[in-house]
Amino acid sequence: MRIERIGREPDYSRYMDLKEGWLDRRIFSDADIYEEELYRIFARSWLFVAHESQIPSSGDFLTTHMGEDAVIVARQPDGSIRVMLNSCPHRGNKVCFADAGNTRRFVCNYHGWAFDTAGDLKGMHEEYCYDAGDIDFKNHGLKNVAKVGNYKGLVFATFNSDAPSLEAWLGDFRWYLDMILDNEEGGTEFIGGCIKSVISANWKFGVENFIGDAYHAGWTHDSGARSMNNGQPFPPIDMQNSYHASMNGHGWEFGTEGVGDLVLLGRPKVMDYYNKIRPKMAERLGEMRSKIFGSVASASIFPNVSFLPGISTFRQWQPKGPMQFELKTWVIVNKAMPDDIKEEVTKGVMQTFGPGGTFEMDDGENWENCTTVNRGVVTRHERLHYRCGIGREIEHDTLPGIVYRGQYNDANQRGFYQRWLDMMTHDEFGKMPARPEPRLGNVAETRDLPGLFAL
């Protein structure tokens, strides 16, 4: 499947100078830029569509979006997963209106066209009205995406047949991802349902906040932190032993004290659980990663997935226009967790980053105001400042990626927008520079890394 865009191709580099540390505000509200994002970023990237635990059995399905394209994600009888457009090829009607379920057929409610869970057309209402040669069943099923991939339970899909492998797309970021996906034997699962909320803000504000903006937390979330921590303020940041790490637009900002986010979750039993498994985590992933996990941290996978590894909220920012997104939120836990600890995690997530959580409400208000104010006809021509920590890049013996010292930093945000610019500028993946060159090479499993990465 090749997605071709015919139209204007402006010079997107004029909207930012990341070496100098500034962005043009128009990228957050301009309708033409947003339309190009749908083609150049969402139609070409690997996008998260499900956790495999959501569709464990044959016939299980869920519906979601890839950019603004509605899709169905369905488990097949052979255990594989198919992702297909949720649009009937007859008149384009939405085929499946359910959020999730189990089925043998998807049937369009307009004219009764019926498709199996692989998307193949199997029949329709009053089929006799089609004469021989009127319709080729094989070519009128639900359009499948070009590729589907699974990284340790996270299912991704892409419309782009020329996209690199999912492993190559994630690259060295797998070293960090495994802290949340593989810190204990058995992997992870989503528990409970999906919470949806609509926020009148540009989707990039949510992603950039989670990819690197620890700076806002001590001010924006001060009252929330005090309410969750017996009146104590947000934990102080050790600027010498905290970092930003960015790889091709993916990013993780973090401390190394191992407890900050677990404290903010406000659930002592969860803290005890992770302290108990931490020695085994060190054996499994190495000492450095066992110290990072549980620290004040946040992360994003380019283009539109974010999570808080210590707090266990996992979320996706679904674009709904230049000035609105739908936020989908789940709770991610280790499968091996006792049920009572899973319940404690769920309660902690709802109290902090649920729709009525002590922290979530603060962020949504800020992002909405940033979006609406930035579109003023004079205001939109003023530059935004992204220079914090611009001179603190370091070489680190253990940490992969482009690494900056100090958690209060704009480094990962600059890395995210650099990949945004790469995607908006280059027509072919092969012409996009690696940022940085990968250090993990062809290593398939980060637990098996030799030498310095095993520290």
Task: Identify the residue with better confidence: 45 or 265.
Answer: 45
The residue type found at 329 is: T
Q: Which residues sit opposite 297 in a β-bridge?
A: 254
Domain of residue 374: give its range: 13-42+172-431
Asked if the model's pLDDT at residue 6 lies above 80, the reply is: no
Q: One of 125, 216, 272, 381 is an active-site residue; which one?
A: 216
3 in a structural domain: no
CA 307 vs CA 1, 18, 384: distances in Å: 30, 25, 25
Does residue 84 share a domain with residue 29?
no
- Give the CATH number for residue 78: 2.102.10.10
Does one domain contain both 187 and 76? Answer: no
Give me the number of domains the chain comprises.
Answer: 2
Q: Rounded distance, CA 210 to CA 27, Å?
A: 18
Query: Does residue 186 have a pLDDT over 70?
Result: yes
- 182 given a catalytic annotation: no
Instruction: Select the more confidently predicted residue: 103 or 264.
Output: 103
Cis previous bond, 279, omega within 30: no
In terms of domains, do 25 and 89 share one?
Answer: no
| From 24, 116, 172, 363, active-site residue | 363
The predicted pLDDT at position 4 comes to 53
Statement to judge: residues 137 and 263 lie in one domain: no
Across 51-71, average pLDDT: 98
The pLDDT of residue 313 is: 97
Q: Is 111 among the catalytic positions?
A: yes
Q: What tens digit of pLDDT does each residue of 95-119 get?
A: 999 999 999 999 999 999 999 999 9
Catalytic residue among 51, 221, 244, 250, which? 221
Residues 346 and 220 in one domain: yes
Structure tokens of 183?
């810190």
Banded model confidence at residue 233, pLDDT cuts 50, 70, 90: confident
Active site residue 221: yes
- How far apart (Å, rounded) are the C-alpha atoms in residues 66 and 155? 12
Q: What is the structure's pLDDT at 450?
A: 56
For residues 231 and 16, the model is more confident at 16
**Within this chain, do residues 94 and 213 fall inside the same structural domain, yes or no?**
no
Residue with tokens 């709770």: 331
Instruction: Express as a percent the part of the chain with pLDDT over 90.
Output: 85
Q: Known catalytic residue: 216?
A: yes
| 287 and 368 together in one domain | yes
The tens digit of pLDDT for each residue in 23-43 reads: 999 999 999 999 999 999 999
pLDDT value, residue 449: 75
Q: Taking 90 as the threshold, does the pLDDT of residue 452 lie above it?
A: no
- Are 86 and 195 within one domain? no
Which residues lie below 8 Å from residue 76, measured CB to CB, with a gap of 6+? 58, 82, 117, 118
25 plus 91 within the same structural domain: no
Asked if 140 is an active-site residue, the reply is: no
Q: Which of 213, 261, 362, 422 is an active site residue?
A: 213
Q: What is the pTM of this model?
A: 0.95
Nearest in space to 223 (alpha carbons), one of 362, 68, 56: 362
- Same domain, yes or no: 215 and 293: yes
